[in-house]
Structure 1
Amino acid sequence: MNPDVLLDGDRLRIRETAPTAAGAARERAVPATSVRDTDPDAFPPEIRTAEGETLFVPADRRGELERFCAVNRIPRRPRPDVWGDLLEPFSDTGFTADHQGATLTRLRRAAGLDADDVAAIRARVGPLVRAYNAVHQDWCHLGLADLLDAATADWIPEGLRVAPADRAAFRTWAMRIADLGHGHGPSGGGAVGHPST
């Protein structure tokens, strides 16, 4: 679900990692003028398009992303790590009640998500992310990139994976939530609903 992104002069070349029904990987181009902003310091580094898509670049290509942004005058803007906070309970680390409370406060202030919103999102993705992290055993950080990987990983039990017909809607839903509080996504619980909404 996370495509390969090549930075090519004044455009991004995006190759879907999963082959199509015809057997070939699909590639598309996005002009640099359609890139809204980037965050090379995110984990992994992020590119956000004007259409709301989040793309990821491997950390070892951070310098290449920074040069691409400088040449193409693409703004560098951090955003709150909403999915990092939402997925925190599924990492291999225990958190104190004070820490959990601080996370909920941050989600409310930065993204407009109240405790019910947070509980609903975590209930929706919890089984999937638990299965994913049972293998990865990440104790440091789980975020949007991990969630999108988990949604299609072939080693995740089939009943937990996102069905192929639902993947585009799930990806859009997850990206809308990632953008909450950034001034571009919807505010509050509107993005919390079912992925097809």
Structure 2
Amino acid sequence: MTGAYSQEGGRRGKPGKGNHMVATRWRARFEPGALVLEGYPFPRGARPTRVPAEALSEVCAGWFPPAVRTREGEYLFVPAEQAGELADFASQHGIPFVRRNDVWSFILEEFLDTEFSPELQEGALRFLESNGVSRAETQAMRELVGKRMLALTAVTWEWQHYGLYDVLSAMRPFTFTTGWSFSRFYEESMRLADRGGVQPASREEFSR
């Protein structure tokens, strides 16, 4: 069994910055009053590429790549090298910085190249339950994404962190054979991410 816990060090907190399979080849554009997502790596249905600042509700400190949440509960990513631009944009438009529990990191830790004990596995399940994700939901989602995530780990040997960005990257290229579509998975992944508990944060915390 693999996971985001190591036997010696416990669960790792902040994700590393060299651990994601897809090199960022697009850039967000910050216009006066709007975030523009031309070339965004994930299909978003009929949603517009230009997102007004007033439609954004929070910037998530501690997520990698940096993420901003819309008021509708969609999490949008910005290339890591543009974290400073995102922080400036958020400060200019009064978008709060928060620490939102990254439930996807706990769902996906089973697929990391790291051993962890039954006690730590149980701790992850309890954490997910405390954030409104049942054991049945966790198991079902792990079964859905497992083959793709293990294939990703076979290529990257990632052992520190997987999150929402990674599972979207892994699932997008494939045709679903289980009755799911990527658009359905995208919506469900956002709903799960939105269950994470949230606390206020500062720009300084975001920039660490």
Is the pair's TM-score, using the shorter chain for normalization, greater than 0.5? yes
Pair 87,11 (structure 1): closer, same or farther in 2 beyond 3 Å: same
Q: RMSD value over aligned CA atoms? A: 2.9
1:71 aligns with 2:86: no
Pair 161,18 (structure 1): closer, same or farther in 2 beyond 3 Å: farther
Q: How does 1:10-89 map to 2 (within 5 A)?
A: 10-17=33-40, 28-89=49-110
Pair 147,131 (structure 1): closer, same or farther in 2 beyond 3 Å: same
> Normalised by the size of structure 2, how large is the TM-score?
0.73
Greater relative CO, 1 or 2 (CA 8 Å, sep 6+)? 2
Shift of 1:159: 5.6
> Normalised by the size of structure 1, how large is the TM-score?
0.77
Runs of 4+ in structure 1 off by over 3 angstroms are 1-4, 16-20, 158-163
Which ranges of structure 1 fall in alignment gaps of 5 or more residues?
21-25, 184-197
> Sequence identity of aligned pairs in percent?
34
Q: Report the secondary structure of 2:30's partner residue.
A: strand
Instruction: Give the structure with the higher percent helix.
Output: 1
Shift of 1:116: 1.9
Q: Is the 8 A contact 1:54 1:175 kept in 2?
A: yes
Counterpart of 1:69, as a letter, is A
Residue 132 of structure 2 corresponds to which residue in structure 1?
112
Measured in 2, the distance between the counterparts of 1:103 and 1:19 equals: 28
Residue 140 of structure 1 corresponds to which residue in structure 2?
160
Pair 19,144 (structure 1): closer, same or farther in 2 beyond 3 Å: closer
Counterpart of 1:85, as a letter, is F
Q: Is the 8 A contact 1:45 1:57 kept in 2?
A: yes
Which ranges of structure 2 fall in alignment gaps of 5 or more residues?
1-21, 199-208
